[in-house]
Amino acid sequence: MARSVPLSLRISEDKARRIEALAKATGRPKSWLLEQALDAYLESQAWQVARIERGLAEVRRGEAVPHQAAAEWLAGWGGGDRGGKAPR
């Protein structure tokens, strides 16, 4: 297991009360709850950054759909064939 280190932060009184209530309800230490929340946040942000970087790499390789083609395809969604095939 990784070594833990202390970390200090300031939060609103409301958040502190909510963390305390959750800790009591779950029987978990506040530090455990906060570490779980931080893990989820970091994972989510890392995924988002990676996906943005992947998208930018696709644009640099010329694999993006031009805005006008996407706009025209979306404009046809009100019709019977839902705009046909997606632009490529």
> What pLDDT digit, counting tens, does each position of 51-63 carry?
999 999 999 999 9
> What pLDDT digit, counting tens, does each position of 5-51 carry?
999 999 999 999 999 999 999 999 999 999 999 999 999 999 999 99
pLDDT at 29: 97
Tokens read off for 38: 């931080």
pLDDT at 22: 98
Is this prediction's pTM over 0.75?
no
pLDDT at 23: 98
Give the span between the Cα atoms of 84 and 14, in whole angstroms. 51
What is the CA 13 to chain-centroid distance, rounded? Answer: 26
What are the φ/ψ torsions at residue 72 (nearest 5 degrees)? -65, -40
